[in-house]
Structure formats: C-alpha cells, structure tokens
Chains A and B, each alone.
Chain A
C-alpha cells in the first residue's frame, strides 16, 4: 500500500514533467518562461522536490525490503520454470526500477545540477532574461550517447510503469472482473504514450527539427 501510494505520487510527477517538457515544441519563450516560473516558486519548489525525494526513498526502501523477503521465501530455485500469466515487466520490477534510479541520478546531474556538460555554463540568458533551458536541452540531446541513455532509461521506466500503473489499484484493494482488465490495458496505453511523448524530444532534436536558440 505504501508502494502504491508513493508510486501514484511519482506517476503524477512523470505526467507533469512530460507536460512541462513538451513545451519545447512550442518554442524557447514558452519553456524558458515555464522554468523561470518554477524557479520563482522558491521555497515551494524545494518543498515539492523534498516531497518527491521522500516518495522516491520510501518507494525504494520498502520495495527492497519486500524483495529481500521474497527472495528468502524461495531459497531453492526451480530447475525448470514456466510462467503462465506473469508478464516480463511484472517479474523484473526491481531490475527496471534500479536502472531507472541510475538514470534519474544522471538526468538530475545533467539538466538540474548541470555538472556533466560544461558548455551549459556558457549559455547566455534568452532575450527575455530567462535561463535558456531550450538551448540547453538541444545541446544536451545532440549527443547520441546522452540521447541513447535517455531513451533506454525511459524504456525501462515504461516497462516499470506498464505493470505499476495498473497494479496499484489491486494493492489498494480495487479489483473487479470487468474493470481490472480495462485498467491493465489503459495502464499500458498510458505508459507507452508517456514513452512516445518523452522520446519525441531527443528524436526531434537529433533529426534537426529543433535547433538551438543561440550559438555557443
């Protein structure tokens, strides 16, 4: 239940984050203004960040404990094991989750703390005086390795959510013969739309559809 509730919080963040990022398609003024707006929230932004960090830590802490108990529950493995209904995603939540964690740490270092790419310090403010997030994203994603890891991280997030985005209903006690299969399908559609939305950004940048707003 704790895993379900923290999971829902994180899913809501992932939706909000995508809506923010997709503003790159509208233009530099939009996304730079949006990020300035977030920074102007000041203490409230930090409150949200700490809240999300707490959700991440609790989500991982509890699931790792559960996973250890689950390993102990079967000390001797089957020589031969066939799964009838359990999906690949549902059986590898710890693996996909931990790789996503590594990705999130890199992603924060890359775009939030900005320590992995020293070109970002050379960026000048945009004409409206905001930090040029737009160009930062474009320069960041022009590197194939960076974009590749981003897509891989999102693929594993999608795998994680293809199970998690409907599984939390069951954990919270909601299961109905008609509703549950629909929630599972809806969860998968939602997840892969999310994946398509997020990956559209590096793909558009690598295809040259989005160009930097300023030259370095």
Chain B
C-alpha cells in the first residue's frame, strides 16, 4: 500500500511548526501505524534528513506513551485502541493521512509529535495515591469490598494516562483522566481516609494546570483506548460536591 502523509514538524517548543508532506510506498497492510512511521524515518535517515520524533514504548496498548492525532482523531480512527494498535489496513490504499500531536495547552510540544504530559503526573501527585500504613498486609477477608465497587474500580484503574481524553475534548479538559483516578480510589476502602482531600486537591491542580472544563460532549470516552466511561466524570462531580459540602460543614 502507498500513502501520502502530512506530518507536523516542529523543531522545539518555541519555534512555529508546520505540516510537511511525505510519501511512503510498498507498505504491508499488516504494518502498524508506528511501524509505518519507523519505515518513513529509516528512509529519511538514508536520505540524510532529520527523522520524525514521536513517542512510543510498549506498542501493545498498555503503557499510554504513544500520542498521535491521526486524521483529526486522537489515536486515529480505530477506536477503542491506542495509535500503536492501529494498522495500515484500516486506511484506503493511496490515502492522504494527517498526523498531528495531541494539542492541549497543558501538553507543550517538545519536538515534532512528542509532547510533555507531566501536567497529568502533577494531578496524580496532588492526591492520586494512598498513604498506606507500612507493615504486613492484613488478613484478606477482613477488608470487604462489594463486587460492584471492585468491578467499577477496576474499570477506572484501566486508565493508561495517555491524555487522549484532553486531546479529543473540544475544551481541552482532562476530566476523564482525573475522574478515573479519583473514582478508582474513592471506590475502595483503602482510599477512603483521603477521599475528600484527594478530590479537592486533584481538581485544584487540574484547573491550575490550565485544562478546560467538561461540557458533556462525551468526545473523551469515544477516543479513550482503555474505554473509560464518562460516567466516571459524573462520579467526579458527585465526589467533588460531596467533599465541598462536608468541608463547608466543618469536617
């Protein structure tokens, strides 16, 4: 298969970027999108040109490192799945494909398609953890968790932190990410001692990082490679209201 590519090139954070046209030929339909970019980079290196910088790590959809907007969709047109799980057979032979980074003000472009997502790390650092007591584990049956809560917590914990939710959101909001982290811990007994302070701090840092606000368009859940449901955003709204209410009552 042959493809016309329009790829965002930007030398660094400060310099302006632009779309540059490339062509790749004789690509197997079973090549992954990232392997196709590897082939293009090898061609560029052979021609003595600067290869295209892009992020990837596990290439099996579990690490959340890859972050491309393909034809205007975060992680490309094959939902649900990260862009490393996108295959060239998904495209028409001879198609023109536009590749851009995730565009969110809080994810500054490092180079070409590589972005800095440390804003998400700072949200987690604000409270997305459990201050566990050190020592031996308690007897397993002494901590009971309803099956429904365990299942929901597991669904929320599936978030790989790729940032596609914020990239796809018309408002650049990271509420799906934050809601998954808040819900995951709020649903389990180990997370309860810090339940209120966690949601208040994480939302505060999320706003301070400059992310937008949720207007319930549900674009985030449509592109999420981990299929996190926007119902967790409703849960975040509940958790936040609950925490604010309890704080105002002097707890």
The residues of A with any CB-CB pair to B shorter than 8 Å are 1, 66, 69-70, 72-87, 90-91, 93, 163, 167, 169-177, 180
Contacts and interface: CB of A to CB of B under 8 A. Distances in A.
Contact of B104 (A69, A73, A79): A73
A85 B230 CA distance: 12
B39 interface: no
B172 A173 contact: no
Given A73-B104, A73-B212, A79-B19, A175 B72 contact: no
A180 B216 CA distance: 12
Interface in B63-104: 69, 71-73, 77, 79, 98, 100, 103-104
| Interface SS of chain A | loop
Nearest to A168: B216
Contacts of B6: 79
B235 A70 contact: no
B216 A171 contact: yes
Contact of B216 (A74, A82, A170): A170
B237 A74 contact: no
Closest 4 pairs between A and B when the two form their complex, measured CB to CB:
A73-B172, A175-B234, A73-B212, A173-B238
Contact of B212 (A70, A78, A82): A70
Interface of B: 6, 8, 19, 69, 71-73, 77, 79, 98, 100, 103-106, 168, 170-173, 210-219, 221-223, 229-231, 233-235, 237-238, 241
Nearest to B213: A66
A91 B170 contact: yes
B164 to A, nearest CB: 11
A80 B72 contact: yes
Contact of B71 (A1, A80, A174): A80
B95 to A, nearest CB: 13
Given A84-B79, A84-B222, A87-B217, A79 B234 contact: no
A171 B238 CA distance: 9
Contacts of A87: 217
A25 B104 CA distance: 53
B104 A82 contact: no
B105 A74 contact: yes
Given A74-B172, A174-B234, A90 B212 contact: no
A86 B218 CA distance: 6
Given A90-B216, A170-B233, A76 B238 contact: no
Given A163-B216, A170-B230, 15 more contacts: A1-B241, A66-B215, A70-B172, A70-B173, A74-B104, A74-B212, A78-B72, A79-B100, A84-B223, A91-B217, A171-B216, A172-B237, A173-B238, A173-B241, A180-B231
B72 A173 contact: no
Contacts of B237: 1, 170-173
A4 to B, nearest CB: 9
Given A84-B73, A86-B170, A177 B229 contact: yes
Contacts of B71: 80, 82
Contact of A85 (B212, B217, B241): B217
Contacts of B103: 74, 76-78
Chain A CB count within 10 A is highest, among B69, B213, B215, B231, for B215
Contacts of A78: 69, 72, 100, 103
Contacts of B19: 79
A155 B210 CA distance: 34
B82 to A, nearest CB: 15
B233 A175 contact: yes
B74 to A, nearest CB: 9
B216 A75 contact: no
A167 B222 CA distance: 16
A157 B172 CA distance: 26
Chain B CB count within 10 A is highest, among A73, A76, A169, A173, for A73
A200 to B, nearest CB: 30
7 contacts: A78-B69, A78-B103, A80-B71, A82-B72, A85-B217, A86-B219, A180-B231
A85 B211 contact: no
A172 B168 CA distance: 23
A72 to B, nearest CB: 6
A66 B216 CA distance: 13
